[in-house]
């Protein structure tokens, strides 16, 4: 129970993002679809088949050592791209201070991808949220349930074809109507007896 103070330096980041992208391309030549750069941030678009192997390599390689999963999310490119979904992994190495973003393509007719919880325990809730919001199933996930929406909710709110005000504006969510009904019943109950 001793707390020390360290003066961290603003050291330059480790490997250049494009060099990391090249390393991935060398290790998995048939998996990389495209490398995109925008404002010094590099995304590597990969196929979903060997996603766990790719991320395991990034996590375990002693010169890459991506130990911190900053973010895991999905994007719905309905009608914009051929492959509808992309699962996005933002990775950072606390040791070397470099970063990379991996985007795995997930087609609409087979919205499944392998879970990365064995690599990063923190991916657990992120993947549950993706499942909740986009309906992407993460195979091998220890506890894949809805997380933010009620468990009996229908539809996936962050998909682009899901309307902003909800799918059925006329009818409320059954959970809410049940509650209103029950509160009406309880109001009729004579508490004083």
The distance of closest approach from Cβ of residue 120 to another protein in the complex, given in angstroms and rounded to an integer, is 6
The tokens describing 6, both together, are 């360290």
Please state the φ and ψ torsions of residue 139, each to the nearest 5 degrees: -75, 135
* Given 18, 60, 61, 97, the residue binding another protein (CB under 8 A): 97
Segment contacting another protein by CB under 8 A, of 7-15, 18-26, 50-58, 185-193? 7-15
C-alpha–C-alpha distance, residues 179 and 176, integer Å? 5
Tokens 């007719």 sit at which residue?
109
Task: Single out the residue of 46, 159, 168, 176 nearest to residue 106, CA to CA.
Answer: 46
The string over 63-78, giving b where at least 16 C-beta atoms fall within 10 Å of a residue's C-beta and e elsewhere, is ebbbbebeebbbebee
* Given 57, 111, 149, 173, the residue binding another protein (CB under 8 A): 149
Of the pair 164, 186, the CB lying nearest another protein is at 164
Task: Single out the residue of 123, 166, 170 nearest to residue 147, CA to CA.
Answer: 123
88 near another protein, judged by CB under 8 A: yes
Total residues binding another protein (CB under 8 A): 45
Tell me which residues in 9-28 interact with another protein (CB under 8 A).
9-10
Of the pair 132, 188, the CB lying nearest another protein is at 132
The distance of closest approach from Cβ of residue 90 to another protein in the complex, given in angstroms and rounded to an integer, is 5
| Mode of pairing for the β-strands spanning 32-38 and 41-47 | antiparallel
Residues that bind another protein (CB under 8 A): 1-10, 36, 38-39, 41, 43, 67-71, 73, 75-76, 80, 88, 90, 94, 97, 101, 120-126, 129, 133, 147-150, 157-158, 164
């Amino acid at each position: 129970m001793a707390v020390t103070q360290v003066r961290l330096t603003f050291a330059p980041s480790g490997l250049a993002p494009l060099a990391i992208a090249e390393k991935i391309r060398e290790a998995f030549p048939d998996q990389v679809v495209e490398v995109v750069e925008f404002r010094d941030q590099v995304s590597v678009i990969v196929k979903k088949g060997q996603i766990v192997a790719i991320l395991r390599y990034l996590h375990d390689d002693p010169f890459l050592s991506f130990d911190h999963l900053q973010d895991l999310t999905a994007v719905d490119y309905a009608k914009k791209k051929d492959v509808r979904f992309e699962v996005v992994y933002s990775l950072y190495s606390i040791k070397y201070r470099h970063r990379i973003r991996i985007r795995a393509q997930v087609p609409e007719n087979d919205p499944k991808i392998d879970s990365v919880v064995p690599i990063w325990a923190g991916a657990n809730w992120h993947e549950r949220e993706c499942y909740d919001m986009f309906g992407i199933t993460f195979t091998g996930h220890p506890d894949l349930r809805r997380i933010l929406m009620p468990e009996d909710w229908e539809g996936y709110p962050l998909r682009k074809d899901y309307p902003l005000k909800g799918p059925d504006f006329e009818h409320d969510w059954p959970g809410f109507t049940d509650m209103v009904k029950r509160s009406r019943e309880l109001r009729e109950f004579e508490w004083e007896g």
